[in-house]
Structure 1
Amino acid sequence: MLKELAEKIEELVNGQVEPELETIRGVDYIKTAKGYDRLRKPKADNINVNSLSGLTEMVKVVIENEVLGIPTLVVNVDVNDIIVSTSHNIAGEIDQIIRAYPLIPDLGFGRRQSVEELIIKLSTAFTETENTTKFINSISSLRIVEDVEFNDDGIGQTITAKKGAQLNQKYTIQPIVKLKPIRSYAEIEQVESKFLFRVDRSGDVILYEADGGQWKYEVQKRIVKYLNGSLKELINDGKVKIIG
């Protein structure tokens, strides 16, 4: 920025034109030998946050302290990715000032893993529900098997499992289960959706998302509802606009 300003001043001197700044509807221009050029101001780095409460507090600080001297902040919600920016000026510029994204655990969807690994994930990275508890109980017995044979009809799986010389034991695996993984901000209720559970011949398991991505739509709705409530006064005053 300083280099650009120095070059402009040098150009003014060489062109024998008196330095002159003019502001038109919030945009600064500097007079040169060739006319007026828009003067670009240095931009601050984005402020990054990982919670909705942190985001709303930062928005309030910016507005209440008139940090940027702008009439409206735009909050753009794209599922979990939230960007707060200034409104357009006459030059069509938008400055991104705050970005929020939640801290999400590794859920391992679509990846082969042991039953033990899946149970750990279900216990630590999913919201505890009645369905989660039942699912953990239903697959816990698969941890002790050494050999697996199964009948897969494309809908469900019947597992015949054996440990050492013990008698074979059959397990019927329900293919679809409803779970609440942690996929968004802690301030909103996590979305429950359908998952496809499969067991391969080695005894490893795979959990697939099976709702066609509909959970993203619901997450976005819940985030927008939270922001509308937390920033209600600023929205009513026309100082904040939520898009999502």
Structure 2
Amino acid sequence: MIKEALQYIVGMGKAEIHKENGQSYSDKKLHLIEEPTAGPFIVHTLSGLVDYVSSGVDKSDKMIVHVVSPTEVRVESPLNRDRVRDYYVNAEALIPEFRFDRWYDTEDFNIKLQSCFVKSEDRDIMLKVVGNITEDQVKTVSDDGVSQAVVAKVGVASVGNVEVPNPVSLAPYRTFVEVEQPQSDFIFRMQSGPRCALFEADGGAWKNEAIDNIKNYLEAALAKEINSKHITIIA
């Protein structure tokens, strides 16, 4: 115990710097006292982010607007002396929930189509098919692995074979509401229950389009700040 105490006291002494092979070494561990950095507050719209940057409320010579993803944009500072950044604002999109690759019953699927997708021709065709299924069990009249035909109402008092559209081109709400929602292809399938599901079929290309849409929106909304070289937009 005495030996350990003495070693501790010796260790509290001033650090000594030694030169070896052109490099500097310390005989004690040194801890950097870092500059304080700002933490972000959260907004949920691009217009809120634009209002913040335009207001100049937190004066800064330079800001970086980083489009991280279709649902997140950050406003941050250049690196300081410690090679870290201030984070002023995080914009996080609020989007309705729709789970692709999941089977929904026809009532839930109908509601999701109307509340989570932009109105389009393919969406309206799907609503007509889903809303007119007549049996508890989907009768697959034909299925070649790409398109299906099921029994559905085709008139006021008649039923018939209706082809299920596939693939379908839809624009779900997947990014900030201020920008155009990317449209992409989906595989639409039905099975007994009856149940319906959508499967993404564009390899995630919509994400790049959404990021470009966000960047274009910000470049237009913050043109004055960009021209004055007050901000830089990275996407």
TM-score category of the 2 structures, normalised to the smaller one: 0.7 to 0.9
State the match for 1:224 in structure 2: 215
Which whole-Å deviations, capped at 9, do the CAs of 1:221-242 have from their partners, x for residues lacking one? 1100000011111111111000
State the match for 1:29 in structure 2: none
The AA in structure 2 aligned to 1:49 is: V
Question: Is residue 128 of structure 2 the alignment partner of residue 134 of structure 1?
Answer: no
State the match for 2:144 in structure 1: 153
3-state DSSP class of the match of 2:215?
helix
RMSD, matched Cα: 2.5
State the match for 2:41 in structure 1: 47
Which whole-Å deviations, capped at 9, do the CAs of 1:190-211 have from their partners, x for residues lacking one? 1111111001233211111111
State whether residues 148 and 161 of structure 1, in contact with CA within 8 Å, keep that contact through their aligned partners in structure 2.
Answer: no
Moved over 4 A (4+): none
The answer for unaligned runs of 5 or more in structure 1 is 1-13, 16-33
State whether residues 34 and 82 of structure 2, in contact with CA within 8 Å, keep that contact through their aligned partners in structure 1.
Answer: no
Question: C-alpha distance in 2, partners of 1:89/1:41?
Answer: 8
Which whole-Å deviations, capped at 9, do the CAs of 1:29-77 have from their partners, x for residues lacking one? xxxxx9x97543443331111100001111223xx24x25x42111111
| Alpha-carbon offset, residue 148 of structure 1 | 2.5
The residue correspondences of 1:1-244 to structure 2 (distance < 5 A) are 39-61=33-55, 64-65=56-57, 67=58, 70-80=60-70, 81-142=72-133, 144-150=134-140, 151-160=142-151, 169-244=160-235
State whether residues 146 and 161 of structure 1, in contact with CA within 8 Å, keep that contact through their aligned partners in structure 2.
Answer: no
3-state DSSP class of the match of 1:158?
strand
Question: C-alpha distance in 2, partners of 1:167/1:54?
Answer: 53
Which whole-Å deviations, capped at 9, do the CAs of 1:83-138 have from their partners, x for residues lacking one? 11101123312122211111010112111111111110111111112332222112
Identity %: 30
The alignment's TM-score, normalised by the length of structure 1, stands at 0.76
Change in 2 beyond 3 A, CA 1:147/1:37: closer
Question: C-alpha distance in 1, partners of 2:34/2:145?
Answer: 62
The alignment's TM-score, normalised by the length of structure 2, stands at 0.78
State whether residues 147 and 161 of structure 1, in contact with CA within 8 Å, keep that contact through their aligned partners in structure 2.
Answer: no
| Alpha-carbon offset, residue 147 of structure 1 | 2.6
The answer for unaligned runs of 5 or more in structure 2 is 1-11, 14-27
The AA in structure 1 aligned to 2:138 is: V
Equivalenced residues, count: 205
The AA in structure 1 aligned to 2:175 is: S
| Alpha-carbon offset, residue 168 of structure 1 | 6.8
Question: C-alpha distance in 1, partners of 2:184/2:112?
Answer: 16
The AA in structure 1 aligned to 2:78 is: S
| Alpha-carbon offset, residue 160 of structure 1 | 4.0
